[in-house]
Copies of this chain bind each other. A is one copy, B any other.
Amino acid sequence: MPASKTAKPPARIQILAPAPMIDCGRFASKRCVGDTVAVSADIFSDGHDVLRAVVRFQAPGSKRWQEAPLRRIDAHIDGDRWAGAFEVTELGRYTWTIEAWIEPFAGWRDELRRKVEAGQADLSGELSEGVVLLEQAAKRCKGADRERIAAALSVLADAGATADDRHAAALDTALQDAVERHPDRSSSTVCEQRLQTDVDPVRARFGAWYELFPRSWGGLPGVRDHVPELAELGFDVLYLPPIHPIGLTNRKGPNNALAAAAGDAGSPWAIGDQTGGHTALHSDLGTMEDFDALVAVAGEHGIDIALDFAIQCSADHPWLTEHPEWFNHRPDGTLKYAENPPKKYQDIYNVNWDCEDWRGLWDALLEVVRFWADRGVKVFRVDNPHTKPVAFWEWLIAKLRAEHADIVFLAEAFTRAAMMKMLAKAGFNQSYTYFTWKSSKWELTDYVTELASSGMQEYYRPNFFVNTPDILTEELQVGGPPKFASRLVLAATLSPSYGVYSGFEHFERVPVRPGSEEYDHSEKYEIKQRALDGPLMTLISRLNAIRRENPALQRLDNIQFLGTENEALIAYAKRTGENTVISVVTLDPANAQEGVVVVPYSLGLPPVFTVTDLLSAESFEWRMGRNFVRLDPYRVAHLLRVA
């Protein structure tokens, strides 16, 4: 007998399928400060008892349990789904669970009401049961509630009261409220799972990123000088590829040439030389003081500096001699450079995660991130995290979060979906996506729907980069400026976080060879002369302003795709509170495309309403149903704010 050692029979309430729950509670869901956690569960019991339920939650570091009510959602297909919410206001890990109990007075009252309404004659037996329940409730409270219960009891005990008087006293809703404010929860049922929600800064969800190689901008002082302009353009995060010393041994030349010529700059991802490794600065970029000044100026302008965390070493990295035991060796004792046969990466050595001193290696890597975090870096873009152990990331991110709860880790993993999801579950606050390769309306709709509503929205926060130093898509190579504009609007309006790698605004689109996504004369291997004067910067700046002014564009889970009756036109609405933005973007900006935007009833808009195009400032009368649209190479999108 399951509970043979206890006086009471086993719990009669079932609490199943709590949400959000990721892998049976193994991982935490994610929110940002100020968000709400919408909680739900199947809650039911045998028989006809009336149930009550709450979500109970602990803020980070707090022992105190707070709670918020759950209510049955009658519209749910099963009829036994309950839902509620609590707000998260502090950075860190919240713990929560669900508790439910039987409210016998509510059940008794409901039965009495039905009998009274059916005109049943003698209900004295029923009332005698109510007296017992009320007497128990009175013992649990004091003050006004106790007085109200006592008053009801005195009517029920009054020999002179009529049956109608007694029924009215027993069915008084204020009486029920008084009783329910003091429930007997001694036999309540608590959900088996203790669930967790990690609360991050808003930056983890929403931001416009700009990526630049400092060596093309006059080093760290030059970058610092551009900060005010970047802030003016509306960027929130300035992401710098590795700023550390670059190895000389086996240095790659322009266009990834096997041998560098004298004076070739090398790839910043071949980290380390005799002057230092992951905690050193490339001497050409500036001093640690220059770095601190950049972080400080950026902070004054509301911009976060994002550093690149790439766990790999050049042949000249100090660790190769100080800690050869951390690297892969052949049986003859020689070190092994990185390979993905038949490709060879002779300028890079990967660490050996299975080495005996793995603890020393993990600690050293933690020290690297801690070093920069202690200097004020709040954002880390992690290079290829999917080729490192997941357990390492889970440990490292938890360690850093304990010291700096406002840090954001962006996972640069372009690999199979299960691993990309896994890294987000393990703690990465934001993730690169497949966006660059989603071109057609079907692909975009399907992919964004998965990100926004398949369950991924609970833990996976996308960052839609339009390009990267590694990714110049064929679409951009052949589509030219209108395609650049179209992809830019898609990224900035589909995803709360999006990014641009310097050069995009100049329409840079020459590949190293046909069929390659690598840039010709990639900045990865060469120093360029850069400035913020690209012709697309006006649109970028306008989009950044629009994103800041419209809360609806700062979320992903509020998206609803709309019909257009044209495969070359994609439309979607986002709504947050009173703010509704309908985006219409052409996927074929080389040609004029006409279609409609179908505004469904479910969007909750009036039959006729005014929309203002936030790009052109024009206004239109729109209506529920079909609305004509036309886009062409000179106008690739409407961003329509509903008045």
Quick check: A129 and B78 within 8 Å, CB to CB? no
Contact A46 B389 (CB under 8 A): yes
Cβ of A80 and Cβ of B331 under 8 Å apart? no
Residues of B within 8 A of A114 (CB): 341-342
For A4, list chain B residues within 8 Å (CB): 359
Residues of B within 8 A of A44 (CB): 416, 418-419, 422
How distant is the Cα of A154 from the Cα of B632 in the complex, in angstroms?
71
Inter-subunit contact B341/A12 (CB<8 Å): no
Complex-state Cα separation, A9 to B394, whole angstroms: 13
Residue of B nearest to A339 (CB): B111
Chain B residue at smallest Cβ distance from A23: B16
Cβ of A30 to closest chain B Cβ, rounded Å? 17
Q: Does A11 contact B (CB under 8 A)?
A: yes
Query: Judging by beta carbons under 8 Å apart, are A9 and B354 in contact?
Result: yes
Residue numbers in B under 8 Å from A115 (CB-CB): 341-342
**Across the interface, which residues of B come within 8 angstroms of A12, CB to CB?**
353, 389-391
A629 close to B (CB within 8 Å)? no
A75 within 8 A of B: no
Question: Does the CB pair A111–B341 fall under 8 Å?
Answer: yes
Q: Is A324 an interface residue (CB 8 A)?
A: no
List of B residues within 8 angstroms of A392 by Cβ: 10
Given contacts A79-B416, A332-B125, A359-B4, contact A46 B387 (CB under 8 A): yes
Cβ-defined partner of A340 (8 Å) among B8, B48, B81, B388: B48
Contact A330 B125 (CB under 8 A): yes
Residue from the list B1, B334, B418, B419 in contact with A395, Cβ < 8 A: B1
CB distance from A80 to the nearest CB of B (A): 4
Report yes or no: A132 in contact with B46, Cβ–Cβ below 8 A: no
Q: Which residues of B contact A150 (CB under 8 A)?
A: none
Q: How far is the CA of A47 from the CA of B312 in the complex (A)?
A: 14
User: A433 to chain B: closest CB distance in Å?
Assistant: 15
A224 CB to nearest B CB, Å: 37
- Contact of A422 with B14 at beta-carbon distance under 8 Å, contacts A330-B125, A387-B46, A390-B46 already known: yes
CB pair B78–A342 under 8 Å, yes or no, is no
Within 8 A of B (CB), among A78-135: 78-81, 111, 114-115, 117-118, 120, 125, 128-129, 131-132
- List B contacts of A354 (CB < 8 A): 8-9
Nearest residue (CB) in B for A77 is B417
Chain B, Cβ-Cβ closest to A79: B416
Q: How far is the CA of A386 from the CA of B391 in the complex (A)?
A: 44
In Å, the complex CA distance between A190 and B418 comes to 18
Please judge, given known A-B contacts A192-B26, A416-B80, A417-B77, whether A118 and B341 are in contact too, CB under 8 Å.
yes
Q: Could you tell me the distance in whole angstroms from the C-beta of A348 to the nearest C-beta in chain B?
A: 14
Residues of B within 8 A of A117 (CB): 342
Could you tell me which residues of chain A, from 149 to 201, have a CB within 8 Å of some CB in chain B?
Answer: 192-193
List A residues 352-375 near B (Cβ within 8 Å).
Answer: 353-354, 356, 358-359, 362-363
Chain B residues with CB under 8 Å of A47's CB are 386-388
Per-position binary interface string of chain A over residues 1-19, scored 1 when its CB falls under 8 Å from any chain B CB and 0 otherwise:
1111001111110101100
Residue A42 lies at the interface, judged by CB distance under 8 Å to chain B: yes
Report A518 CB to chain B, min CB distance, Å. Answer: 20
Interface check A24, CB cutoff 8 A: yes
Instruction: State in angstroms the CA–CA spacing of A79 and B359 once bound together.
Output: 32
Q: In the complex the two chains form, is B418's CB within 8 Å of A16's CB?
A: yes
Cβ–Cβ < 8 Å partners of A128 in chain B: 330-332
From residue A48, how far is it (CB to closest CB) to chain B in Å? 7
A422 neighbours in B (Cβ, 8 Å)? 14, 16, 44
Interchain CB contact under 8 A, B341 and A391: no
B78 close to A417 (CB less than 8 A): yes
Tell me the complex Cα distance, A115–B341, Å.
6
Q: A115-B341, A359-B4 are in contact. Are A334 and B11 (CB under 8 A)?
A: no
Q: Which residues of B contact A131 (CB under 8 A)?
A: 331
Q: Smallest Cβ distance from A351 to chain B, in angstroms?
A: 11
**Which residue of B is nearest A362, CB measured?**
B1
Q: Are A418 and B78 in contact (CB under 8 A)?
A: yes
**Is the beta-carbon distance between A358 and B9 smaller than 8 angstroms?**
yes
**What are 17 A-to-B residue pairs whose CB atoms are below 8 Å?**
A1-B359, A1-B395, A2-B394, A2-B395, A7-B356, A8-B354, A9-B358, A10-B392, A12-B353, A14-B390, A44-B422, A46-B386, A79-B418, A80-B417, A80-B419, A81-B418, A120-B341
14 extra A-B contacts, CB within 8 A, seeds A1-B395, A46-B389, A125-B336: A1-B362, A2-B394, A8-B354, A9-B358, A14-B390, A16-B23, A16-B418, A44-B422, A46-B353, A46-B388, A47-B386, A117-B342, A128-B330, A128-B332
Which 7 A/B pairs are nearest by Cβ-Cβ distance?
A118-B342, A10-B391, A114-B341, A80-B418, A24-B24, A9-B358, A78-B417
